[in-house]
């Protein structure tokens, strides 16, 4: 029996494959490398000390999925594959709807055809309405997304909920991630944005290594303690372990939908994050305050009780460890996997 990991060459997928193998699971990975490199999978195999099947396919392609589900005995699917750049989704909405929705539909159809009924879906805190009270619980209002990417996550959650409600015997665990940062402690795998980073941590890391001149802080006039935006940053290895816990949870579930936040429960401001990075690494980050980024909210952090109660999972790694691990990855691989 194996866990089928779509998007397993990507940032979160690659770290999760290692944790799954560490926990004794066999894995099968599919990726079209639209936002990742084969080198990542090579390094995952080295770090895990184990080979596994890798398929270069588009997860929207049902026929290609059929072949994989025929060859392998799949017990559970983790669906990471998706496009994720918020700004790009505003410019290319149809690409985002097509890729993110069609992959989820093709995968669900294939699972039904092959009698596989457990799926863990990569959702996001972005599905919550911008004006909720903090911390965000799984019952906080959703919708009102500010960009097409957010809507694709919202719609995929709905699609999977409807598949469960159709009486298919499905278990769908939707994991709403907050802000994943950090890298494997080996410094061999990490986040490797193909373009100018949208997210703050890779931007800080690329500034530290000299690829960017300075960090632009998007606004210091928010209603927060120091005026900069507050987020819930969790270490990607903790997040990966959250997926292992979700696979175990799904295995004993008799069917249904479970929506679970994965975060630390702590809010950290942009200035606190920059200071933590500087303290952990000894590298100064030049920065400049610029105007707010459209669509950003002031504060976003998770309520974590449900993850603790249902999955027995909570984050273990500190912000300092996440910063040190990010730096080890970036320093050893200044050009990411490409150089
Ligand atoms: P990533 O881009 O590093 O990984 C996604 C992987 O999916 C890439 O390797 C890409 O090549 C692959 N892929 C995309 N479309 C595909 C398709 N049609 N067929 C096959 N492969 C395809 O992103 P990530 O940060 O690892 O995120 C993984 C998932 O988690 C995504 O669905 C993302 O939306 C979600 N998520 C990420 C964050 C975050 O901040 N990183 C936050 C919330 C949710
Ligand atoms: N920020 C900067 N400068 C930058 C980048 C970001 O000051 O160069 C600030 C933002 O204004 C925000 C904070 O840093 O206050 C975090 O921004 P990110 O872009 O790293 O993360 P977001 O919280 O905006 O969004 C991320 C993902 C979304 C996901 C969301 C919730 O990009 O896909 O977390 O999970 F939906």
Ligand 2 contact via 329 beta carbon (within 6 Å): no
Q: Is 293 near ligand 2, meaning CB less than 6 Å away?
A: yes
Counting atoms of ligand 2 from 1, which one is nearest the CA of 292?
11
pLDDT tens, 26-85?
999 999 999 999 999 999 999 999 999 999 999 999 999 999 999 999 999 999 999 999
Percentage of residues in the chain having pLDDT higher than 70:
100
Write the CB contacts of 50 (distance below 8 Å, at least 6 apart in sequence).
21
Candidates 295, 239, 298; CA nearest to 269 is: 298
What's the CA gap between 311 and 303, in Å, rounded? 14
Please tell me the residue having the least CA distance from ligand 2 atom 30.
126
Cα 79 to ligand 1 centre (Å): 9
- Radius of gyration for the alpha carbons in the chain, expressed in angstroms and rounded: 19
What is the pLDDT, as a whole number, of residue 2?
Answer: 98
Note the ligand closest to the C-alpha atom of 217. 2
Residues noted as catalytic:
149
200 in contact with ligand 2, CB cutoff 6 A: yes
Q: Nearest ligand to the C-alpha of residue 263?
A: 2
CA–centroid distance, residue 249 to ligand 1 (Å): 22
Taking the C-alpha atoms of residue 337 and residue 37, their distance in angstroms, rounded to an integer, is: 7
| Structure confidence at residue 133 (pLDDT) | 96
Q: Give per-residue pLDDT as tens, 206-251.
A: 999 999 999 999 999 999 999 999 999 999 999 999 999 999 999 9
pLDDT tens digit sequence for 90-143: 999 999 999 999 999 999 999 999 999 999 999 999 999 999 999 999 999 999
In angstroms, the CA 19 to CA 286 distance is 35
What tens digit of pLDDT does each residue of 164-183 get? 999 889 999 999 999 999 99
Q: How far is the CA of 201 from the centre of ligand 2 (A)?
A: 9
Q: Which ligand is nearest to the CA of 299?
A: 2
Q: Which protein residues touch ligand 1 with a CB less than 6 Å away?
A: 7, 9-13, 30-36, 58-60, 80-84, 99, 103, 122, 124, 177, 180
Q: How far is the CA of 93 from the centre of ligand 2 (A)?
A: 19
Distance (angstroms) between ligand 2 centre and the Cα of 159 equals 26
């Amino acid at each position: 029996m194996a866990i089928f990991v779509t998007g397993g060459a990507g940032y979160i997928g690659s770290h999760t494959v290692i944790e799954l193998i560490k926990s004794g699971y066999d894995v099968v990975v599919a990726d079209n490398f639209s936002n990742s490199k084969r080198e990542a999978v090579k390094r995952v195999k080295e770090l895990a000390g184990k080979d596994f099947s890798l398929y270069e396919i588009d997860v929207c392609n049902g026929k290609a999925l059929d072949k994989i589900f025929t060859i392998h005995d799949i017990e559970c699917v983790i669906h990471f594959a998706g496009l994720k750049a918020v700004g790009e989704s505003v410019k290319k909405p149809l690409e985002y709807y097509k890729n993110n929705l069609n992959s989820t539909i093709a995968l669900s159809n294939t699972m039904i055809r092959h009698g596989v009924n457990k799926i863990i879906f990569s959702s996001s805190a972005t599905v919550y309405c911008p004006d909720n009270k903090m911390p965000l619980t799984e019952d906080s209002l959703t919708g009102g997304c500010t960009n097409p990417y957010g809507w694709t996550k919202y719609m995929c959650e709905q699609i999977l909920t409807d598949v469960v409600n159709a009486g298919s015997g499905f278990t769908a665990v939707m994991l709403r991630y907050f802000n994943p940062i950090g890298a494997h402690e080996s410094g061999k795998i990490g986040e490797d944005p193909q373009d100018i980073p949208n997210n703050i941590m890779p931007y800080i890391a690329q500034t530290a290594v000299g690829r960017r001149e300075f960090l632009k802080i998007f606004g210091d006039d928010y209603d927060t303690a120091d005026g900069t935006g507050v987020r819930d940053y969790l270490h990607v290895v903790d997040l990966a372990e959250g997926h292992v816990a979700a696979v175990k949870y799904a295995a004993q579930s008799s069917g249904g939908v479970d929506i679970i936040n994965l975060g630390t429960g702590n809010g950290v401001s942009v200035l606190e994050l920059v200071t933590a990075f500087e303290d952990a690494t000894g590298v100064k980050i030049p920065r400049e305050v610029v105007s707010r980024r459209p669509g950003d909210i002031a504060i976003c952090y998770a309520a974590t009780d449900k993850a603790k109660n249902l999955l027995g999972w909570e984050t273990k790694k500190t912000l300092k460890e996440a910063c040190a691990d990010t730096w080890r990855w970036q320093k050893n691989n200044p050009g990411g996997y490409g150089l």
